[in-house]
Amino acid sequence: MRPARCLALGSLLALVGLLEGRLVGEEEAGFGECDRFFYAGAPPAGLAAEAHVKVCQRFEGAERFATLYSRRDRIPVYSAFRAARPAAAGAQPRWLVEPQIDDPTSPLEEVIDEADAITSVSGLGSKQALSTDYLDSDYQRGQLYPFSLSKDLQVATFALTNAAPMAPSFRERWYLNLNSLMERALTPQCSSGAHLYIITGAVPSDRKLKDRVTVPAFVWLAACCAAPGGGWAMGFVQHARDGDVIEDVMVRELEKLLPFNPQLFRDNCGETEQDTERMKKILEVVNQVQDEERMVQAKEGTHPLSSTKGQGSALLPPEPSEERRSFLGKLRSFLATPIIRLFQLLYYVAVGILKNVIHVLWFVTKQVFNGIESCLYRLGSATISYFLAIGEELASIPWKVLKVMVKIIRAILRILCCLLKAICRILGIPVRVLVDVATFPMHTISAVPIVCKDIAVGLGGTISLLFDAAFGTMGSLFEVIFSICKRIGYRVTFDNSGEL
């Protein structure tokens, strides 16, 4: 039944494509649709690295929680979730794997059963932990987001990307302390958990399980209550060493204990508006939990928490026999492989045919819509052009009338101008005569000095001429007299010389 169900589900997803890939791309700043599990929608800053992959943990079409997974250590760096009321335990779940971590091209977009992934995911286990890594070891799969805190589908927390190697006693202490803190301190002091954001993480140590999966040195929890007017932030650390109790620390101190000194909550979960009274009440409950753990360890010696075995077993996820499960899984895989391959072939053929049919229908529909759109566009263009032409003609009528009126006014003005010119020419003759008569005395008076000047110049010239004539006459007379005297003296002189 399961291959048929997977085939039907795969066909539905291929048809409508409602689900996106669960692995968040490195180019995205957050966790996509899983950002709602972080305070103010902002994941911790400073913890992401090249070997880390962001996983929006989804199951049955809905987001459950967010995980930053280390492909190098094969353990989660942290898991983020919202506090909720735990649901009653359901059927025994099985561990799930994320196909796209090992095979980024895998069409499987949600976590699947580890047994089913053996034949459907290539390179399974190359970048993530598997249940076989925990076989014949002293460690169990410890959930950072425990199934006991999940409200609806507890099976979603059984993803191996949400698990890290934990010793049985350490895992039991972690679950008990975590559930005690959530039920008695964190949830009651934050509006029954309505505004409570939780981040649980693991810090790797130098030890590795089968040289593949890193064992955490300690696990931690950071809580942020964003209740209006009564928010707070707290941190907790649980070391893997026996005898260590859970420690309460401030969020800033917890950030200093983590690699790369990250910032877990934006603005430290509204540090300036935190309610110190609620934090004091939380610390009182934390002290009670620590005292209870110390008392149990003191009573039981080297077997801590054995007195609470009954209570702890209800909070622990089931751990079936690994050898039996592994043998049954291999046997089932061996027997079911041909059938699964056949169903896979039929699935791919059906999906291919369905895709081609959808493409043909889409092409035909697109062509029909394009034709209708073209016809509507042409009809609309013609209608708009017709109305534009009519509008232009109607709009041009007042303009043409105005142009005719302007031409008429210009013609009238030209006629008036010609009339004025004719009148001016007719009136121009008498006006000139009057002007000449009016200006005659002025010209006459202005000419008197000139005439006087001319008369004076004439008189002066006459007198000068008279003087010139008188002096010329006298000079001529003197020359005549001188000439006569000269001749007379010559002759006397000549006569005297004859006598001698």
> What pLDDT score does 341 carry?
63
CA atoms of 357 and 364, how far apart (whole Å) = 11
Residue 52 in contact with residue 84, Cβ under 8 Å? no
| pLDDT attached to residue 263 | 94
pLDDT of residue 13: 37
> C-alpha angle with apex 59: 357 to 321, nearest 5 degrees?
120
Q: Both tokens of residue 5?
A: 């169900």
Residue 199, strand partner residues:
80, 222
Q: What is the pLDDT of residue 9?
A: 38
Task: Please name each of the domains of the chain with its CATH number.
Answer: 19-274 (3.40.570.10)
Locate 299 and state its tokens: 């009573």
CB 343 within 8 A of CB 4: yes
Average pLDDT across each block of 10 residues of the chain; the chain has 500 residues. List them in order: 40 35 74 92 88 85 88 94 65 76 80 81 88 90 82 68 92 89 90 85 93 94 89 93 87 93 91 87 92 81 46 53 48 62 74 86 90 90 89 87 91 91 75 69 78 84 85 84 80 54
**Do residues 216 and 141 lie in contact, with contact meaning Cβ atoms separated by under 8 Å?**
no
Q: What integer pLDDT is reported at residue 409 of this predicted model?
A: 93
